[in-house]
Amino acid sequence: MEQLRLSVTSTVYELTDHARVLWGGTANGITGIHEWTLTETADGAHVVTDESFSGAPVDGNRQTMQQMLDMSLVAWLAHLKRAAEQRSG
């Protein structure tokens, strides 16, 4: 699958230091809403994501858009993990 790169200006709707961030934005007719909840654990942190896409491109091809969202989540979590490990190590 071809990777699509978009420039999105996001708005942070809610931020709880070291615990939660809720943000979203629109690009190319797709609105994304993203919530990340972080919980401290004995080994570091546990991150839970809740994400959604909506808009005409999503309605037109739900399977592909779900795959793109899933790939995006995996990539973002990998970046977050790398950054956290660099800071702690």
Q: Give the separation between CA 34 and CA 77, rounded to whole angstroms.
A: 13
| CA–CA distance, 41 with 38 (Å, rounded to integer) | 9
Output the CATH code of domain 10-82. Answer: 2.20.25
pTM of the model: 0.76
Q: Domain residue spans in the chain?
A: 10-82
Residue range 7-33: average pLDDT? 92
Q: Between the CA atoms of 62, 3, 52 and 73, what dihedral angle is there, to the nearest 10 degrees?
A: 130
- Does position 84 have pLDDT exceeding 90, yes or no? no
Residue type, 3: Q
CA angle 48, 26, 10 (to 5 degrees): 60
Q: Could you read off the pLDDT of 53-83 as tens digits, one per residue?
A: 999 999 999 999 999 889 988 998 899 889 9
